Amino acid sequence: MRAQQGGEAEHGGEAGQGTEAEQGTEAEQGGKAEQGGKTEQRAAAEQSGEAAEERPGRRRWRLLRRIDYPRGGRRGVRRWLPSWRQLLLTGGTVTVAVSGLAAWFFVTTKVPEDLNAFATQQNNVYFWADGTEMARIGETNRQEVPLDQVPEPVRWAVLSAENETFYSDPGISVSGIGRAVYAMATGGDTQGGSTITQQYVKNIYLNQRQDVSRKLSEMVIALKLDQRMSKQDILAGYLNTSWFGRGSYGIERAAAAYYGKDVSELNPSEGAFLAALLKGAGQYDPALSAANHQRAEERWSWILDRMVDTGKLSAAERARYTVFPEPRTPPKAAGLSGQTGYLVDLARSFVESHSDLSPAQLDLGGYQIRTTFEKPKVNALAAAVQEAGKGLDPDGREADKLLKVGAASVAFDGRIVALYGGPDYRKQGFDNANTSTVPMGSAFTPLVYAAGLSQGVQHQRGGPRTPVTPGTSYDGDNGVTIMTPEGPYWGRDGKVVKTANDGKRNWGPLSLRSAVEQSVNGPMMQLGMDVGLDKVQQTAAALGLLPDSMGELVPAFGTGNSTPSAIRAADAYAAFAAGGSHTEPYSVLGVTRNGAPVDLRLPTAVQALPAAVAADVDTALKGAVRGGSAQALAAAGPGLAAKPGTTPDRTAGWTVGYNGQLSTAVTVFRADLKDMKLLPLEGVGGAAPDTPDSELPGRIWAAYMKAAG
């Protein structure tokens, strides 16, 4: 039994061994299965996590994989080049998207119910700085006229110039739109590429910014309008609402403004000129400038030639119109007598250049413009000029003929509070206070002094700059040779340039401050050369002198061959009183329309000079009044700083200076306004030949500053 059991045990043992082996295998397999299960679970978990947390960049990558991009089986650059199928897919997608957007824009853009409501013109009202009314400008100058009263050649002059395919186009020009959109996208002109229909539509957007969105709206409305209105009605609406300049809306009022007749009386030549104005009256009204006249004549001739090309004017008739049809001189608007017209012109010019309002929008009217001008000061300045002029006799004294006075008074923050432009705006529209044809003379030397103090001098070309101070000594004698780092300065006449003091006086060694106080030109001319005329020019520009008024960079630049206006001269001196802070002169405080403010870009102060330099110049100018070249002005009040100015050829006299509140410049010159040729001032008012030309402007300056406080 034992044996049997033993055998059985042995057998069982064998069986047990086999079982253990099998169990080991099963355990091993189970372990593998367990590992496999864990791997699958982990993969599933990771896949689930990726699905839950997949980033947009990874999703885009998978999308590109689905459309085989980058392309499989390709290498290098070819891997990134799309296939034609991919290009078609992309192009189709873009086309569908753009088409859908265009369809939506077309459906949602509505045609305004009243296209002509915009053209109700109103007055522009100008106010003094204190809010009281100064002038009301812009009487309604618009009159509708039936199309059959516009001569057919005049109509075709407009169409030949603006849109010769008007009667066949659908209201828009695809090629023109392409050019216009491209120009807008690249910062070019937004007005090109428009048909007559588009321009008619554009008229109702005069008070909106000109951008791509407006251009698209204009196109859609033009397409819809072309389907609703006849071509004749569209053309009539366009001719009756377009701006022709001179405050004229519509061709009927334009005919009256330029030729003093009804539109029905215009001939083809006159019609061609009016058509030229549609491109921009500010650029084509011949009365505004010589350049305008040339542009107008060229475009007038081109329009007549286009009429021949389009078969709307015979060559024989074209041959009759070889002389430009000069329009009449525009009359001065009522209500602008005295100084008011000069003030309104200056304010309007500022609004046009410092806002998004165009001349056409301003002519449309309805704007309230509050100016910086103070009526008591304007009246005081005019009174000072009139009082000083009582001794003049233009009928009996040759030297008093063609005498002009210009003056401006500017606050230290740039506000123009007063100006004198001439005896009467309605008699002389030219503004003497804003002219840039009269040299500043020795009144410019404080700017040279400021440049020297702030930038130092250079005695060797390429060498270091050496500081100068008010006490730096210069040779004040007359006839001293002007030096450059290389030696004497030779003029174009082949002679060495030398200094020229008033009265040919010799002053000996002189400090720079004394040279300014006593108005000794020689040291200032040499200082300008030592500083570098380009550096002096930079200082003058920082103080507000305009680039086109700067004189030639020769030694005379240092003694005032530049021609700033009285406004700019007064504004430059204001920086000396304001610690070197300079603000561009401005004439408007704010603009509103129907109670809503118009965005106006007012200038801000900038530090043009170090405060210490401004203080040094201020000290010299006050010294000039206390005991120097400007001491005749001392009775006008305490704390005055001023500088007289004369020119070597005696064609201009200046006085520029300030008190604790205002900087004022007065200039006197003689000129025929037809050619602006300057004439000598010697003997004006019966003065002795050796009387300084700054004497008359000095009397005006002193009288005004005393009255203005």
Contacts of 568 (CB under 8 A, 6+ apart): 544, 545, 546, 549, 585
What is the structure's pLDDT at 145?
86
With contact defined as beta carbons under 8 Å apart, do 583 and 414 qualify?
yes
What is the structure's pLDDT at 50?
46
- In angstroms, the CA 184 to CA 369 distance is 31
Contacts of 340 (CB under 8 A, 6+ apart): 134, 135, 425
The stretches in the chain having pLDDT less than 50 are: 1-53, 105-106, 108, 116-118, 188-192, 206-209
What is the structure's pLDDT at 357?
92
Q: Which residues of 228-261 are buried (b: 16+ CB within 10 A; e: fewer)?
A: ebeeeebbbbbbbbbbbbbbbbbbbbbbbbbbee
With contact defined as beta carbons under 8 Å apart, do 693 and 668 qualify?
yes
With contact defined as beta carbons under 8 Å apart, do 191 and 210 qualify?
yes
Residues in the chain, total: 709
* AA letter at 438: V
Phi (first) and psi of residue 495, to 5 degrees: -115, 155
Angle between helices 152-162 and 290-309 (to 10 degrees): 100
List, in sequence order, every residue forming a beta bridge with 666; answer none if it has no partner: 407, 655
In eight-state DSSP terms, residue 506 is -
How is 225-256 classified by DSSP, letter by letter? Answer: HHHHS-HHHHHHHHHHH-EEETTEESHHHHHH
Here the tokens at position 377 are: 């000061």
- In angstroms, the CA 470 to CA 523 distance is 12
What is the structure's pLDDT at 45?
45
Here the tokens at position 588 are: 């408007």
Domains of the chain with bracketed CATH: 58-108 (no CATH), 139-318 (1.10.3810.10), 373-440+563-709 (3.40.710.10), 444-562 (no CATH)
Residue tagged 């072309």 (tokens): 226
What is the structure's pLDDT at 89?
72
3-state SS class at 194 = coil
Max distance between CA atoms of the chain, in angstroms, equals: 171
What is the structure's pLDDT at 92?
73
What is the structure's pLDDT at 228?
77
- Long-range contacts of 399-402, Cβ-Cβ distance < 8 Å, separation of 24 or more: 399/670, 399/680, 399/681, 399/682, 399/683, 399/684, 399/685, 399/686, 400/684, 400/685, 401/670, 402/670, 402/671, 402/672, 402/679
Closest residue by Cα to residue 700 from 381, 375, 340: 381
What is the structure's pLDDT at 214?
58
Put simply, whether the predicted model's pTM sits higher than 0.85 gets the answer no
Sheet strands (E) in 595-651: 596-597, 606-607, 641-646
What is the structure's pLDDT at 178?
62
